[in-house]
Structure 1
Amino acid sequence: MLAAHYRGSYLKEVRMARLSRNMDSGIAYVLAQDAANEQNNLALDLFGDETDSVLIEQKHWGIFNLATVKSFVLTDTLKQVFLMGHETTSDAVAVYLSDEDRPLSVSGDTRITGNAEVPKAGMRKSYVDSRPYSGDQLVYGKISDSKRTLNGLESKWIKEIETELDFDPAKLPTLNGGDEQVSFFAEAKKFNASALSQLGTQLSGQVILYSDTTVKIAATAQLDNTIIYAKSIVVADGFKGNCQLFARDSITLGNAVTLTYPSVLGLVSREKMVDQAKITLGKNNRFEGIIFSYEPKRSALQTLVSIGEQSSVQGEVYATGLLKLGKQVKVAGKVSCNRFIMQTPATLYENFLIDVVLNRKARNRMYLSSAIFTGVAENKKILRWEN
């Protein structure tokens, strides 16, 4: 009996080690797939002897890839689920400004660390409010010419976001104000949030909210991995969380808001909009992740991304239009736009950077981007383990 007990324990340990190795093989397989050959559901017999099987399921979670890998031998199973991102170590650009035949002017305590792709008109030092540029060089990196337009966003991702934004929330159950915690091993839960006057509950895991009006997120709300699609979204002062927010008209963050990595603010506007579509961050915000705006065709009122004074961004800011940076804004990463604007009490400046810090080298080395950006490296890595 004792021998049988130890033999059973030993065989169990061997099976567990085998499942673990097969799990690692499945994860490596997912990470090695390029975007063109991704398959949503795939069953693999790793060694062709019908004893080592791996089941792979993939889908998009916001603007990231989500994969579930299950390793099984007979009735024994291991499974893991994770978000994936793309490496950005080869991209050393801190600033990309489309060429509109206007130079980029820097003033005050502005510092650009990393490469800069700017119009052929170049860069220059300027006086603003009787203050000169205090740096000893324009860019602490290389300067090269930009193109007339930004590097685009991948159409399949934009179409997918537009489909979600146009989805009729009336087809879904109404969010009743209670807490929702949904495992990533289960099916995602989708709710209609149109009737909510304010969102103040705890939502965690695979929860997606849809609204054809404005969603207001209270400071007391607890969001972890939540996705929201709405006409417009307003986040109250002092909110802290992790979420991906997508809107048609506007996304507005109050003051002292903290959104942790990998959060996303995505604005996808329509053609011929009456009002300017915009993302607005208040003062003293702390944002980690990706901010982007998109319009299908360049309009007179281009989309606007506005970041308030003393706010910091760790990640990427991409504006298919205008980018407004308040004084003492710090971006550890990359910014891309058609035009910079800066507002003082007396004047509106175009293509001026005043007292802002744009530092590509300061971005965390573990940061991973999204495949929504064209030209992103194919090298995928695990961004976050889910449960």
Structure 2
Amino acid sequence: MPNRKIRLTAATLPVVMVISVLMLLVVLFVYSLWDMNLLYYSSYHYKRQQQENLNSAIILYSNDSTFLREHNEEKTFRLFETDSSSTVRFLSKQWGLYEALHVSSHNGNFSSTQLLGKKQECDHKAALWLCDRNRALSLSGGTEIRGKIYIPLNGINYTQIDGDYYRGEEIPYTRLGIADAQLPPIDSTSLVIPESLKEYREQSDELPTTTQTYYSFLEPTRFFSTIENPDEIVLRGNAVLFADELKISASSKINEAIIIARKVTIEEGFTGSMQIFCSDSVMIQENVILQYPSGIYLKAEIDYPFVSLSDNSEMNGYVIILGRIRDEELLFPSYRQSDKSLLRGLLYVDGTTNIRGEISGAVYLKDCFFSSNMNVYAGTLYNTRISRNDNIAYPVFLSGKYTRKEIKTIY
């Protein structure tokens, strides 16, 4: 059979070349996709690793009391000896009775700033501690206490007030401990910040009438003062406000700031967060919500300091009352809480209290009483609901285990 010759036209070669180029482009495109995917994965892995390094740094700080010996002092630390990119920078400072911790990556491209408190308020981890005043703790009405209770040596009386007998169950001995005559000791370093802030009063600026500025915790703290009561106070972030007698209206917008004054009144309807340091009194009117983490620290410069929490109001954080306090006749409680109110956090009062309503956290009291129809019942809780809360971070205030706990991210 004769050989048949294949004849190619002149157009065949360009077609072959075009097809070859297209195939080459497809190969290059596939390679580029693979290379881009590898680059994306590498970038994602790097970012994820840096974020994990920051998380590890926060955990390290939260569990090692010797890691940073002083606040306001920057420290650099390499998490893994063989990896220079695991170097992390630390800077912490006290913010009221909490701590602000800033951690950043080796090149500063990744960072996190957290507000921290203590994982437990002190080693006792009490629901209630009532100092020994040579009389028993009396429970009446709808009082309910959940958690460890430290009571006077004289024990517990289950009693009645105005015919209203104690309606709860008898508390088992396994949940009882013996309280001392004094409250658990205070961490002396926690008392430094309230005093040190006062030194900046002379350097403070006049409070702006209105501002939407958020004062970053990455910048120096801003200090303001006011001699009047503005209709509206707008103060957010890393800022301190000095005043004498301050009224905070419902229209005010305050978050994370610190207030230093002699006397503070928070008017009905306000919602926000702040730490208040004062020397006379703090009045929280009805329908007020002080969001977590807020706080009231009253170091009395008078004989009868006073903090009150009114009906339908919430305090989330702490109430601490110290100083020269007198109330031998149990007529002027340092802390009064209404029946329809909630305190979530630490209550520490080195004085007398008249408490109703609900407390979720830890309660440490020098003394308590209840008054009705001109009668005073010493060492008595009536319609008071107290439950231990281990899900929040407590202020850095009492001596005890160091461990810190994250509260929130700040900026």
Fold shared, TM-score > 0.5 on shorter chain: yes
Q: Which residue of 1 aligns with 2:269?
A: 238
Displacement, 1:138? 4.3
The question of 1:81 aligning with 2:113 is answered yes
Q: Give the partner amino acid of 2:392.
A: Y
1:78-102 deviation per Cα after TM superposition (whole angstroms, max 9, x unaligned): 0110011222397552211111101
Q: Give the partner amino acid of 1:64.
A: Y
The question of 1:374 aligning with 2:399 is answered yes
Query: What is the distance in 1 between the residues matched to 2:186 and 2:157?
Result: 30
The question of 1:229 aligning with 2:260 is answered yes
Q: Which residue of 2 aligns with 1:56?
A: 90
The question of 1:353 aligning with 2:386 is answered no
Change over 3 Å in CA distance of 1:48–1:94 after alignment to 2: closer
Query: What is the distance in 1 between the residues matched to 2:201 and 2:363?
Result: 34
Of 137, 141, 145, the match for 1:112:
145
Gaps of 5+ in 1: none
SS in 1 for 2:92: strand
Q: Give the partner amino acid of 1:78.
A: F
Q: Which structure has more helix as a fraction of its residues?
A: 2
* Contact in 2 for aligned 1:209/1:228 (Cα 8 Å): yes
Q: Give the partner amino acid of 2:99.
A: N
Q: Which residue of 2 aligns with 1:185?
A: 218
Query: What is the distance in 1 between the residues matched to 2:54 and 2:373?
Result: 59
Query: What is the distance in 2 between the residues matched to 1:154 and 1:303?
Result: 25
Q: Give the partner amino acid of 2:248.
A: I
TM-score, with length taken from structure 1: 0.87
* Contact in 2 for aligned 1:303/1:320 (Cα 8 Å): no
Of 221, 229, 241, the match for 1:197:
229
Of 20, 43, 46, the match for 2:51:
20
* Contact in 1 for aligned 2:96/2:193 (Cα 8 Å): no
RMSD: 2.6
SS in 1 for 2:217: coil
The aligned length equals 372
Query: What is the distance in 2 between the residues matched to 1:167 and 1:63?
Result: 17
Displacement, 1:324? 1.2
* Contact in 1 for aligned 2:131/2:182 (Cα 8 Å): yes
Of 233, 245, 257, the match for 2:288:
257
**Structure possessing the higher radius of gyration over alpha carbons:** 2
Displacement, 1:37? 4.5
Query: What is the distance in 1 between the residues matched to 2:183 and 2:67?
Result: 23
Displacement, 1:17? 3.7
SS in 1 for 2:354: strand
Change over 3 Å in CA distance of 1:238–1:72 after alignment to 2: same
1:26-73 deviation per Cα after TM superposition (whole angstroms, max 9, x unaligned): 223322321685343102244456554321110011101110001034
Q: Give the partner amino acid of 1:320.
A: D
Q: Which moved more, 1:7-16 or 1:282-291?
A: 7-16
The question of 1:280 aligning with 2:308 is answered yes
Change over 3 Å in CA distance of 1:139–1:340 after alignment to 2: farther
Query: What is the distance in 1 between the residues matched to 2:342 and 2:159?
Result: 24
Query: What is the distance in 1 between the residues matched to 2:80 and 2:187?
Result: 36
Query: What is the distance in 1 between the residues matched to 2:86 and 2:381?
Result: 58
* Aligned counterparts, 1:1-387, within 5 A: 3=32, 6=36, 9=40, 12-34=43-65, 37-39=68-70, 40-48=73-81, 50-73=84-107, 77-88=109-120, 92-138=125-171, 142-164=175-197, 166-167=198-199, 169-179=201-211, 180-193=213-226, 195-198=227-230, 200-211=232-243, 213-270=244-301, 273=302, 275-295=303-323, 304-326=334-356, 329-360=357-388, 363=389, 365-375=390-400, 377-387=401-411
Identity of aligned residues (%): 20
TM-score, with length taken from structure 2: 0.83
* Contact in 2 for aligned 1:113/1:140 (Cα 8 Å): no
1:223-270 deviation per Cα after TM superposition (whole angstroms, max 9, x unaligned): 111111111111101211111111011111111211121111111124
